[in-house]
């Protein structure tokens, strides 16, 4: 090992921390299944008032917001994020 903490001619660092980061990147993201229940009458009313495309976009936006909120709750609970962030 050279004086600058590198190994070999390429100057790449090695060690347990590097191996841990490589293993973390190779694992799939931590995902959990969620179930969302939609009120049939509300969806049908929205379909009639604004059209199918807008209903779908609105549902997608609501799902993204719900998933983002769940992630925020987990991060705040784990101390990884500030409450007001």
| Ramachandran assignment for 36, one of left (phi > 0), alpha (psi -120 to 50 degrees), beta (any other) | beta
* pLDDT tens-digit readout, 32-43: 777 888 999 999
For the chain, the domains span 16-77
Retrieve residue 6's tokens.
Answer: 């590198």
* pLDDT tens-digit readout, 40-75: 999 999 999 999 999 999 999 999 998 899 899 999
Query: Which DSSP string corresponds to 22-44?
Result: HHHHHSPP----------HHHHH
Taken in order 64, 65, 68, 73, the sign of the CA dihedral is negative
Q: Residue 19: its pLDDT value, please? A: 72
């Amino acid at each position: 090992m050279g004086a600058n903490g590198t190994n070999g001619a390429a100057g790449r660092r090695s060690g347990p921390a590097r191996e841990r980061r490589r293993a973390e990147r190779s694992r799939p993201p931590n995902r959990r299944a969620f179930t969302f229940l939609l009120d049939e009458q509300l969806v049908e009313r929205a379909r009639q008032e604004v059209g199918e495309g807008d209903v779908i976009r609105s549902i997608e936006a609501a799902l993204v917001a719900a998933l983002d909120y769940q992630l925020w709750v987990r991060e705040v609970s784990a101390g990884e994020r500030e409450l007001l962030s």
